[in-house]
Structure 1
Amino acid sequence: MEESGQVPPGNHEVLGDSVTWGGCTIIYLLGQQLHFELFDFSYQVLNVAEVEAAAITPNQKNPHFVPEWDALLEAMKKARRLNNHVFSMLKARCPLEDKQACAIKQSGAPLHRIKFENTVSAFETLPQKGA
């Protein structure tokens, strides 16, 4: 029983980046990338941390600094970089088609004729057989 002393592999070691790719793909295809970036908690924490870091001079000590947060902030930055990479790959290979949309004002009234940019279809960019 040599294996009993080994630590079982974590989710990331088993699945890799597939969970991120799957989640970002669903978000992208539903057209919700901007909402995801706006409402994701880790993005908000990173934005606050970046603003605080920019506001503090090099010789000044941050009063809100907690040493354990460094690892958390680095993990959040890594996740954001991976998400941005996945979204950029999806935009390059599968751009969203031209769509008419209807937005809702805060008062509840609809805003008609919001138009998204028309982009080249991924099907048109694939190599053709025999070409």
Structure 2
Amino acid sequence: YIAPQQRASAVLRAVPVLRGAAQTARLPGRAAVARAPAPHHHAPAHTDDTNEFHRLWSALQFLYCIPVGDTQFTVEELFGEGLHWAGCTIIALLGQQRRFEALDFCYHILRVQRVDGKDESVKGIPLKRMVDRIRRFQVLNSQIFGVLARHLAADEERAGVEHVRCFPPPSAPIHQIN
């Protein structure tokens, strides 16, 4: 359990907003509050905004794709598919699925590996094992996005279909008490 937690901490430190670029402000009588610096007009998108959640999830998924040792637990063994469902659901609800699929770090590594076909170890990480994990996560993500697309249909798709029917109340004899 320690190894995935340490890897998650390393990724969160690598994300600029969470690493320390955020300034800490102390309000009178309250605890310290982290405040991100104002983005520049020419700056790249920031991960502290919901518009960029897919980037944060991409970084976390990259961590999950790194193969672990024989004595360590994988993310799937620790949490099952629930973590992937949570990330993909948030991405789908924010409407960032296409951006995620186009800009995901792992999918980029997979595309590059398909072109060059290298099977070596980079900084102690066997590339073939990592690419196999990326492929499994890509299939899992596409299945989750498919299920979510069926159940989270947009309102304009449902607008032409009437789902509620009104029936008149049954007529019953009126009894009067004299």
What is the TM-score with the length of structure 2 in the denominator? Answer: 0.43
Measured in 1, the distance between the counterparts of 2:74 and 2:142 equals 23
Distance 1:81 1:10, change over 3 A: closer
Measured in 2, the distance between the counterparts of 1:9 and 1:65 equals 24
C-alpha RMSD of the superposition: 2.5
Measured in 2, the distance between the counterparts of 1:38 and 1:78 equals 17
* 1:72-111 → structure 2 map (5 Å cutoff): 72-98=130-156
**Cα shift at 1:72:** 0.5
Question: What's the counterpart of residue 8 of structure 2?
Answer: none
List gaps (5 residues or longer) in structure 2: 1-70, 164-178
Question: What's the counterpart of residue 167 of structure 2?
Answer: none
| Percent identity (aligned) | 30
How many residues end up aligned between the 2 structures?
87
Could you give the per-residue CA deviations for residues 50-75 of structure 1, whole angstroms, max 9, x where no partner exists?
2334xxxxxxxxxx431621100000
Distance 1:70 1:8, change over 3 A: closer
Distance 1:72 1:87, change over 3 A: same
Is 2:94 the partner of 1:30? yes
One-letter amino acid matched to 2:129: A
* 1:42-53 → structure 2 map (5 Å cutoff): 42-53=106-117
Question: What's the counterpart of residue 116 of structure 1?
Answer: none
Could you give the per-residue CA deviations for residues 20-65 of structure 1, whole angstroms, max 9, x where no partner exists?
0000000001100011111110011111122334xxxxxxxxxx43
One-letter amino acid matched to 2:105: F
Q: What secondary structure does 2:154 align onto?
A: coil
One-letter amino acid matched to 2:93: L
Measured in 1, the distance between the counterparts of 2:116 and 2:72 equals 38
List gaps (5 residues or longer) in structure 1: 1-6, 54-63, 99-118, 126-131
Question: What's the counterpart of residue 80 of structure 2?
Answer: 16
What is the TM-score with the length of structure 1 in the denominator? Answer: 0.57
Question: What's the counterpart of residue 41 of structure 1?
Answer: 105
Question: What's the counterpart of residue 120 of structure 2?
Answer: 66
Out of 113, 120, 123, which is 2:158 matched to?
120
The answer to whether the Cα contact below 8 Å between 1:29 and 1:96 also exists between their aligned partners in 2 is: no
Distance 1:120 1:40, change over 3 A: same
One-letter amino acid matched to 2:128: D
Higher-Rg structure is: 2
Measured in 2, the distance between the counterparts of 1:34 and 1:11 equals 24
Q: What secondary structure does 1:43 align onto?
A: helix
Q: What secondary structure does 2:158 align onto?
A: coil
